[in-house]
């Protein structure tokens, strides 16, 4: 069982360098949307701290496509499937972070993340925060999966936003992909039947739905089913945002089909 490429389109936002990353290998696919820094940056070796996390986590997931359970993680946490894949990658991020920033966690960059893991029974979709996944199962049923909106947008003051970021990955806050492997245990996990097509999208790309350029998940999937159509929709989105005076976020779309 493995994913087959259909389309991948990414465009950089208006205010910062690219902080999204996405990819697939074997039966694992993922979308990472780095959260633009609000707290004091740590100065990680990249164009921004979130860009470092997105790139590093992307690389760890790319080599993390063997058996879904390692002896280390299974013995400690009993994690299987998509949760084990993510926990193992976050464990490696924690190891990479130690010589760079020590034990710092609150100011460490974070990301929304969705991961789709094929199995003989279907696909497990794991989600932290506000990346979107649309699954079209082989019987035609459509599933739209998102865990939680990461930030409320313009309705919050900067002080409220900072306080929210400080609460991340605590019982009182939002769980995101950062450097804590236990985030995998708090992620939303949805099991779907074997898929025909899967689309993973950052919230920046999903603005095409929010702004009414497409009517919902079904039309979004159709509009990004191949590279040319996906490029057309993302260009239409960027032009519309410019017309209405909206600062564009990074926008990333990855469309895949599945084979047994």
**178-224 pLDDT, tens per residue?**
999 999 999 999 999 999 999 999 999 999 999 999 999 999 999 99
- Which residue carries 């990461």 as its tokens? 150
Q: Please report, for the domain that includes residue 127, its CATH number.
A: 3.60.40.10
69 — pLDDT class (breaks 50, 70, 90): very low
Q: Which residues contact 242 (CB under 8 A, 6 or more apart)?
A: 248
Among candidate residues 189, 181, 43, the one with its CA nearest the CA of residue 107: 43
Q: What is the mean pLDDT of the chain?
A: 93
Distance CA 72, CA 129 (A): 27
Q: Give the contacts of 72 (CB within 8 A, at least 6 positions apart).
A: 91
Q: Which DSSP state fits 249? A: P
Separation of alpha carbons 196 and 44, rounded Å: 39
Quick: pLDDT tens for 86-110: 999 999 999 999 999 999 999 999 9
Nearest to 184 by CA among 88, 70, 100, 60: 88
The per-residue pLDDT for 15 is 81
In this model, does residue 21 exceed pLDDT 60? yes
Q: What is the pTM of this model?
A: 0.94
> How sure is the predictor about 154, in pLDDT bands with cuts at 50, 70 and 90?
low
Is the pLDDT reported for residue 82 higher than 70? yes
Q: Which residues pair with 255 in a beta bridge?
A: 7, 199
Residue 34: which domain range?
2-259
CA 136 to CA 247: how far, in whole Å? 31
Half-sphere exposure of residue 131, counting CA atoms within 13 Å on the CB side? 35
Percent of the chain with pLDDT over 70: 93
pLDDT for residue 71: 37
Does residue 1 contact residue 27 with C-beta atoms inside 8 Å? yes
Token digits for 93?
A: 């991020």
Count of the separate structural domains present in the chain: 1
């Amino acid at each position: 069982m493995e994913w087959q490429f259909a389309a991948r389109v990414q465009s950089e936002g208006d205010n910062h360098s690219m902080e999204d990353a996405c990819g697939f290998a074997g039966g694992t696919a993922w979308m990472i949307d780095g959260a633009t820094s609000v707290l004091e940056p740590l100065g990680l070796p990249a164009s921004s701290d979130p860009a470092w996390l997105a790139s590093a986590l992307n690389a760890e997931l790319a080599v993390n496509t063997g058996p879904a359970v390692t002896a280390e993680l299974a013995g400690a946490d009993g994690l299987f499937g998509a949760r084990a894949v993510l926990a193992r990658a976050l464990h490696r991020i924690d190891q990479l972070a130690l010589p760079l920033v020590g034990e710092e966690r609150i100011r460490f960059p974070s990301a929304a993340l969705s991961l789709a893991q094929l199995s003989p029974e279907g696909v497990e979709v794991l989600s932290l925060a506000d990346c979107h996944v649309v699954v079209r199962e082989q019987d035609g049923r459509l599933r739209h999966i998102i865990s939680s909106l990461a930030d409320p947008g313009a309705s919050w003051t900067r002080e409220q936003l900072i306080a929210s970021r400080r609460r991340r990955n605590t019982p009182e806050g939002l769980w995101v992909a950062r450097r804590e492997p236990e985030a995998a245990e708090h992620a939303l996990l949805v099991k779907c039947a074997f898929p025909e097509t899967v689309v993973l999208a950052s919230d920046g790309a999903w603005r095409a739905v929010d702004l009414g350029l497409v009517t919902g998940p079904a039309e979004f999937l159709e509009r990004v089913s191949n590279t040319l159509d996906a490029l057309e929709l993302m260009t239409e989105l960027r032009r519309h945002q410019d017309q209405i005076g909206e600062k564009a976020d990074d926008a990333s779309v990855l469309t895949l089909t599945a084979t047994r």
